[in-house]
């Protein structure tokens, strides 16, 4: 990752790891961690929705002062276990920056379904589970949002470059 240890995303990742939360990095942060030349301002994760892991995640979210965004009434609503065991996308502001906790992505792909499509990476002395480029391309294609359509050519070019035999232009 190109950030520094005090980078908000690095701090969020550290907090999750220190809290023993089981999660997969997805979205733009997965691309950055995989060496794709893109930038991101938030961290997207898919977490394991077991009761024990949800409790660990809630503890970390509490320490990070996480609350739902957007919140135009500024109520600072906190997440509950029932929020984290559902099927939605939960967008939080935290003391370290934006964190999107996704129960599932691209249909019904939760932690267990995505796990075979991950790579284990080490960055900043952290061991991370990151969505691999082929699956990241697939879910971004399926999402079909403007920002995903813009990222796809860069993701595909990076994957193509990596799968080329050495010495081939």
Q: Which pair of tokens denotes residue 85? A: 């065991």
Establish if 124 belongs to a structural domain: yes
Per the omega criterion (within 30 degrees of 0), is the bond before 70 cis?
yes
- Residue 100: inside a domain: yes
Q: pLDDT at position 1, please?
A: 47
Q: Say which CATH number the domain at 92 has.
A: 3.30.460.40
Q: Is there a domain that residue 2 lies in?
A: no
- Evaluate whether residue 137 is within a structural domain: yes
Distance separating alpha carbons of residues 128 and 62, to the nearest angstrom: 22
The count of structural domains within the chain is 1
Q: For tokens 């359509």, name the residue.
A: 149
CA 12 – CA 18 distance, rounded (Å): 10
Q: Is residue 18 in a domain? A: yes
pLDDT score, position 74: 85
- Residue 166 in any domain: the answer is no
Q: How far is residue 92 from each of residues 25, 78, 84, 98, measured CA to CA in Å?
A: 16, 9, 12, 6
Within a domain: 113? yes
Q: What is the pLDDT of residue 165?
A: 81
Give residue 116's domain range: 8-156
Rounded distance between C-alpha atoms, residue 4 and residue 12, angstroms:
12
Q: What is the pLDDT along the chain (169 residues), one digit of tens a residue?
A: 445 667 899 999 999 999 999 999 999 999 999 999 999 999 999 999 999 999 999 999 999 999 999 888 889 999 999 999 999 899 999 999 999 999 999 878 999 999 999 999 987 688 999 999 999 999 999 999 999 999 999 999 999 998 888 766 6
pLDDT value for 122: 86
């Amino acid at each position: 990752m190109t950030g520094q240890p005090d980078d908000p995303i690095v701090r969020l990742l550290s907090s999750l790891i220190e809290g023993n939360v089981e999660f997969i990095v997805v979205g733009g942060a997965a691309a950055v961690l995989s060496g794709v030349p893109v930038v991101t301002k938030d961290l997207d994760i898919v977490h394991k929705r077991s009761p024990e892991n949800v409790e660990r995640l809630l503890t970390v979210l509490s320490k990070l002062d996480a609350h739902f965004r957007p919140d135009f009434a500024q109520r600072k609503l906190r997440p509950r276990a029932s929020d984290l065991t559902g099927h939605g996308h939960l967008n939080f502001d935290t003391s370290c920056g934006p964190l999107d906790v996704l129960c599932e992505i691209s249909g019904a792909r939760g932690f267990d379904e995505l796990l075979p499509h991950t790579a284990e990476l080490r960055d900043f002395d952290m061991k991370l589970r990151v969505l691999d480029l082929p699956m990241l391309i697939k879910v971004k294609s399926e999402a079909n949002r403007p920002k995903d359509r813009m990222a796809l050519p860069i993701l595909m070019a990076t994957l193509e470059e990596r799968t080329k035999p050495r010495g081939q232009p």
